[in-house]
Amino acid sequence: MTNSKTSDIILLIVFAVAVLAGPIILAPFGAGYPDLLQKFAIFGIFAIGFNILFGLTGYLSFGHAAFLGVGSYAAVWSYKLLTMNVIPAIILAVVVAGLFSLLIGFISLRRSGIYFSILTLAFAQMCYNLAYSVLTPITNGETGLQITLDDPRIFDTAVAGVQPVTNLFGLTMNSTAEAELMGMTLQFNAGFYVCAVILIATFYISMRIFRSPFGMMLRAVKSNQNRMNYTGLNTRPYTLAAFVISGMFAGLAGGLLAATDPLAGAERMQWTASGEVVLMTILGGAGTLLGPVLGAGLIKYFENIFSAFNTSALNDIFNFLPETLRDAVVSVSSLFVGEGWHLTLGLLFMAIVTFLPGGLMEGATRILRLMSGRFRKKTDDGTKTVHPAE
């Protein structure tokens, strides 16, 4: 077994352990509750899929939220017409998103660069407006599509007066077990672990794509597509395949959003959602395996934790300061948390793009190299060569 394969196996094992131990690892940071853990996993999948397109081929799509929304709508219709089991819903979400991305990709990939980005943005906005108004019988417009008591499910037996819940062969997605550890209440949620297992599987698929000849071809497209075209090689099938795979990952994320919260709305298809996954990928490190997951986790952490710090919470944090100084500190810090969390995220994004163009993964690589260099220097300094004469 080569060193590359060994390192990939080690990376996959470490990643899987870290994801599955998420409720324990993130509890001290206030992020160990089910709703946020589910978002970490789902948007990690979304970012992994986007990275296959943008990170490998260099094609920047501003319309990937369309596939996220289509996946959500397909999953909710599965709950309404078939069964509350999440497996058929997830499969339907992936298939519908794949077909939809095939259509959009076939048209958009006739152009490259900024023209490709604008085309994908235009398609996403068209989908948003259609879902919001024109296709109201299918999407339920601004109210959003949701399950009801009188939905005609084929494979489920309805219980009168009982709101159905999503499940995995009887295990409800909202079921949560609690445990106490070192004064912390740990919550182990079924929905999170379904998303976590799928996240690990998608990470493995992404790893295999990155290491495959197909992945090398996508990197070549990013490096110099014109030169490849001059050799007579048709690159469109490769870029279209990457676009469809990326769209299917987005549809999978949308299906999981509906699995954890059976509601689909047009807001999931808005251009801001597409911009968010771009930020996640760049922030973590485009073209890397772990980067998009780290970027997704960081943005969702800022969105859900930093936004919760209001003036009252800040007063409690800085309660040890004298009153005058505390008021000043709270006034300044309140600009960066609560409703101003976007300012903190923007400053962080600017700093990373300026000093770490490769994202968080570049920073981690620099730290590891620095530590490795210091360790090697310390080892060399402490090593004494003993000659036979001695």
Q: What confidence tens digit (pLDDT) does each residue in 267-310 have? A: 888 888 888 999 999 999 999 999 999 999 999 988 888 777 87
If asked whether residues 90 and 122 sit together in one domain, one would say yes
pLDDT value of residue 22:
92
pLDDT value of residue 385:
45
- The phi and psi torsions of 111 (rounded to 5 degrees) equal -125, 165
* Token reading at 188: 């182990």
pLDDT digits (tens, 9 = 90+) for 318-347: 888 888 888 888 888 888 887 788 888 888
If asked whether residues 53 and 15 sit together in one domain, one would say yes
Whether 174 is covered by a domain: the verdict is yes
Whether 101 is covered by a domain: the verdict is yes
Whether 292 is covered by a domain: the verdict is no
Residue 180 pairs with which residues in a beta bridge? 185
Whether 387 is covered by a domain: the verdict is no
The last residue of one of the domains, among 286, 315, 331, is 286
If asked whether residues 311 and 271 sit together in one domain, one would say no
- Among candidate residues 296, 301, 299, 311, the one with its CA nearest the CA of residue 29: 301
- The phi and psi torsions of 104 (rounded to 5 degrees) equal -70, -40
How many whole angstroms separate alpha carbon 44 and alpha carbon 195?
A: 10
Q: Which helix (H) or strand (E) holds 264?
A: strand 263-264
- The phi and psi torsions of 179 (rounded to 5 degrees) equal -145, 150
Compute how many other C-beta atoms are within 10 angstroms of the C-beta atom of residue 213.
Answer: 7
Query: Hey, is 146 helix, strand or coil?
Result: strand
Whether 282 is covered by a domain: the verdict is yes
The last residue of one of the domains, among 256, 286, 316, is 286
Q: If 0-12 CB within 10 Å is exposed, 13-18 middle and 19+ buried, where does residue 16 land?
A: middle
- Give the dihedral of Cα atoms 104, 110, 116, 120; nearest 10 deg: -10
If asked whether residues 140 and 59 sit together in one domain, one would say yes
* Token reading at 254: 């949308």
Q: How many domains does the chain have?
A: 2
For the chain, the residue count is 390
The last residue of one of the domains, among 254, 286, 318, is 286
User: Could you give the C-alpha distances from 130 to 19, 20, 73, 106, 255, in angstroms and in order?
Assistant: 37, 38, 13, 20, 20
Whether 294 is covered by a domain: the verdict is no
If asked whether residues 241 and 279 sit together in one domain, one would say yes
If asked whether residues 248 and 346 sit together in one domain, one would say no
Helix runs in 285-338, H state only? 291-304, 311-317, 323-333
Domain with 345, as residue range(s), is 305-379
pLDDT value of residue 380:
63
If asked whether residues 97 and 206 sit together in one domain, one would say yes
Whether 115 is covered by a domain: the verdict is yes
pLDDT value of residue 373:
74
If asked whether residues 160 and 263 sit together in one domain, one would say yes
If asked whether residues 42 and 131 sit together in one domain, one would say yes
Number of helices and strands (H, E) in the chain?
16, 6
Q: Which helix (H) or strand (E) holds 263?
A: strand 263-264
Whether 145 is covered by a domain: the verdict is yes
Which amino acid makes up residue 379? T
Which amino acid makes up residue 302? F
If asked whether residues 235 and 364 sit together in one domain, one would say no
If asked whether residues 49 and 137 sit together in one domain, one would say yes
How many whole angstroms separate alpha carbon 246 and alpha carbon 59?
A: 11
- Among candidate residues 261, 31, 228, 264, the one with its CA nearest the CA of residue 127: 264
The list of the chain residues with pLDDT below 70 reads 1-2, 158-161, 375-390
If asked whether residues 60 and 172 sit together in one domain, one would say yes
